[in-house]
Chains A and B, each alone.
Chain A
Amino acid sequence: MRSLEELKNLKAKTEKGLSLREDTGKPTITVHMGTCGIANGARTVLNAVLSELQARNLTDIHVTQTGCPGLCYLEPLVTITEPGKNPFVYSKVSSENVKKIIVEHLINGRPITEWLVNLEK
C-alpha cells in the first residue's frame, strides 16, 4: 500500500459486494416463487433480474424471493418495494419485460403502470 488512493480504490471495489449485508435504503425486488410462480417461469425471471442487475452494476438493489400471494393466475409476480412507499406488484412478468421494469421503474423512476396488478379489472 503506497498511497491513500490505493486504499480507497480497494475499498470501493469490495464495498459493493458487502452492501448485500446492509440496509442500503434502495428498492428491493421480490420474485414470487411458489409452485405456481415456478411453474409459470419465475425461475427464469429471477435469473433475468440477476443478470440485468449485474450488467448494470446495480449491486445496492437487493433481490429476494417469497412464496405465493394467492394470485396464481397472474404469476410470475414480481414486487418492487421502496422504503416508505406502497409496493408495486407486476404481473405475468417475463424475462424480457423484467429488463424493461428495471430500466423504467428502478433507473428512470417511472413505474410501468399498465403491467401492474389491477384487481379491479
Chain B
Amino acid sequence: MEFYRSHVLVCTGTGCTSSDSRLLISGLRKELKDRGLEKEIQVIETGCFGFCNLGPIMVVYPEGVFYCRVKEADLKELVEEHFVKGRVVQRLLYREPGATVKTQEFNNIEFFKHQKRIALANCGIINPEKIEEYIARDGYFALAKVLHEMTPAGVIEELKKAGLRGRGGGGFPTGMKWDFAYKAKGDQKYVVCNADEGDPGAFMDRSVLEGDPHAVIEAMAIAGYAIGANQGFIYVRAEYPIAVERLQLAIQQAHDLGLLGKNIFGMGFDFDLDIRLGAGAFVCGEETALLTSIEGKRGEPRPRPPFPANSGLWGKPTIINNVETYANVPHIIRNGWEWFASIGTEKSKGTKVFALAGKIKNTGLIEVPMGTTLRTIVYDIGGGILNDKKFKAAQTGGPSGGCLSAELLDTPIDYDNLIAVGSMMGSGGLIVMDEDTCMVDIARFFLEFTQDESCGKCPPCRIGTKRMLEILTRITEGKGTPEDLNNLEILAKTIKSAALCGLGQTAPNPVLSTLRYFRHEYEAHIYDKKCPAGVCKALLSYQIDPEKCRGCGLCARNCPTKAISGKIKETFVIDAEKCIKCGACMEKCKFGAISKG
C-alpha cells in the first residue's frame, strides 16, 4: 500500500462534474507531480457532498479543510500554499451566509452540522469506484452477517422492528413488503431497485448510486436472501450516465471478489444483478409500470392487486424498493434495529434525504432525522431565503406533493404529518418559495408536468388533468371565473379516487394544497384580476410614479419594444399596448419610480 500524508477528495458527482471537477482533478495531479508531491498527496475522486451549488468541492484530509468553487486557475496557488507551505488558502474557503469570517473545517459548516447521514454515509467520504474503500467502511459485512447468522425470516423481522418505510414516495413498511414476497409461493422470485428518479429537482437516488453504489448492491443481495430470490434488476434512468457507469463497475468488482455470483461466502447462496435503463418516462417510477418496462413492454401501469409481491416481474413474486430505502438496509443489519428505531419519530424511523432547491441560500442534498422541522431545514441548514426575502411556501413530494405554508414551519416532517397537512414525502424534493412566487402559477407548473407525463391509459388522469390544466391556465391569464374554483375541486377529488396509478391519484395534490393554504391568491386572480406576487404577465401592468420620476430616460433607452416615451427632465409614460412586461425598466430605474401591480 502506498503511504500518503494527505488525501484530497474531489467530488465527481453529476453536479461537480458539470462544473468541471474532472479538469480540476487532472490539473491537480499534474501540479502535484510538477512539485514532486505525487507520492505524498493522493487525489481521490469521490461522490456527492450535497453542497452542489458550491462546486467543484474539494476536501483536504487529515485537516478536513473544505474548499469550494475551485477553478483550474487556482491550482498553482493551492498547491504552492497548502501543500508546499502548509498555509490554508483563505479565499477558497466557504463563508456562511451573513458571517464575516470564513469556515475552514468541513464539520463546522452549518449546512453539514445539523445533518445525520445514514443513506449518504459514504458519499463524499469514499472513492465509489473502489470496492476496497467500501469494505474498509464495513461494507458487505451486513451481507456476511445475514448469510452466517440470520434466517430469512430473521432478516425480515429485523427490518419490521427497525420500522424502515419506503423512501420512494408511499412510505410502505419495507419489512412487510419483504414478508409478502417471502411468503408468496414461487420457483423464481425477483428483487428490483427503483432508480427511476423523476421528480423535478430530486437527485438523492442519483447521488447514492454515484457516491456509494455498493450499498445498494449489498442491500439487494440481502433482500434476495430474505425473500428467496437469486436475480435482481436495477432500473435506472439512462439520463444518469455517471450513476450507470459506476453501477456497472461496482457490479463487476463485486463479481470479481465473489460478493455476487455463485455460492457467496461459501454459504450456498447465489445472487446476480443486472441493470435495465429507463428511457425517462415519469410514469415508469410507478412500480407496476416499471416492471412492465423491464419486461420489454410499453411502460404502463396496471391495476393492483395483484401486488408485485405476489405477481410481479413475469408474474413472479417480486419486491421493488427505492434506492434510498436499500441504502439504509446494510446499516440496519450491522447496527441492529434498536439503533435505527431510536432515530426519528414514532411512526417514521431513521432519516430522510431531501433535495433542497428553489429560493434558498444553500441548495443541495441533505439528510436529516425524521421529525426535523421545516424551519431547521430552511433556516439552519438552508441558510435562509435568498436575498433575505420572506418565506412563502415549501413544496414537498414533487409533482405528487403539496405546498406547505409559513404556519407549518414548525411541524416536524415525517410521513404522517405531511399527509395530514395535504402533502406527502414523495422522494424528498423540497422546493422553497419566497414572496415573489405565485402559487397559482406553481400549481399550473406541476400540473403541466404531470399532464405531460400521463401515460394516457386511464381517462381520469388523461382527460381530468388536461381539463384542470386548462382551468389553471385560464386563471393565470386573468380569464378565470368564480365557478372555476369549484370545478377544480370536483375534478381533483374525482381524479384522486378514480385514477389507475399513483401518478394520477396524486397529480391533483399541488392544486388541492395551494387551494387550501393560498385560496386568497386564486381569488385575487379571479375577482380582482391581480397576481399578488407579480408573476402572471397577463395580470401585470407597469406604471411610472410621476412624483419619483426624474425624467432621466434610462427606462426608455432600455425598453426593448420602445414602449416608454417622454422628454428628458419630464415624467416618462409607459404605453400598455406596446409593453411586453419584461421588467427591464423597473430593474434599471435608479429612483424606484417604476412599480408593477
Residue of A1, A10, A33, A34 ringed by the most chain B CB atoms within 10 A: A1
Residue tally, chain B, CB below 8 Å to A:
36
- B binding-site residues for A, Cβ under 8 Å: 1-7, 9, 40, 61-63, 83-87, 125-126, 132-133, 135-138, 140-141, 144, 148, 257-259, 263-266
Task: Supply 20 further A-B pairs (C-beta < 8 A) apart from A33-B84, A64-B6.
Answer: A2-B265, A2-B266, A4-B148, A7-B135, A10-B132, A10-B135, A11-B135, A11-B141, A14-B1, A14-B132, A17-B1, A17-B2, A17-B4, A18-B126, A21-B125, A28-B62, A38-B85, A50-B5, A62-B62, A67-B86
Contact A67 B62 (CB under 8 A): no
Contact with A33, one of B3, B86, B137, B259 (Cβ below 8 angstroms): B86
Give which listed residue, A2, A20, A30, A50, contacts B7 with CB less than 8 A. Answer: A20
> Which of chain B's residues have a CB closer than 8 A to the CB of A16?
1
**Contact among A1, A18, A28, A63 with B259 in the assembled complex (CB-CB below 8 Å):** A1
Q: Which of A1-35 contact B (CB under 8 A)?
A: 1-4, 7, 10-11, 13-18, 20-21, 28, 30-35
**Chain B interface, DSSP helix/strand/loop, else mixed:** loop
Least CB distance, B67 to chain A, in whole angstroms: 15
Contact A14–B136 (Cβ < 8 Å) = yes
> Does A94 make an interface contact (CB < 8 A)?
no
Residue on A nearest B63 in the bound complex, by CB: A64
Asked if A66 CB lies within 8 Å of chain B CBs, one says: yes
Q: Using a CB-CB cutoff of 8 Å, which residues 58-83 of chain A contact chain B?
A: 59, 62-67
Query: Assuming the A-B contacts A7-B135, A14-B133, are A21 and B257 also in contact, with contact meaning beta carbons closer than 8 angstroms in the complex?
Result: no
Q: How far is the CB of B239 from chain A (nearest CB, A)?
A: 31
| Cα distance, A4 to B149, chains bound together (Å) | 12
Chain A residues positioned under 8 Å from B263 (CB to CB): 2
Most buried by B among A20, A30, A38, A53: A20
If A28-B62, A65-B85 touch, whether A3 touches B40 (CB-CB below 8 Å) is no
A residues less than 8 Å from B87 (CB atoms): 66-67
Pick from A3, A11, A18: contact of B266, CB under 8 Å:
A3
Task: Indicate if A86 sits at the interface (CB-CB under 8 A).
Answer: no
Residue of A nearest to B147 (CB): A4
Closest 8 CB pairs of A and B: A65-B86, A62-B62, A14-B136, A1-B258, A54-B3, A14-B132, A63-B5, A15-B136
Rounded to whole angstroms, the CA-CA distance of A32 and B4 in the bound complex is: 18
**A96 CB to closest chain B CB, in angstroms?**
20
Which residues of B have CB within 8 Å of A33?
A: 84-86
- Residues in A with CB closer than 8 Å to B258 are 1-2
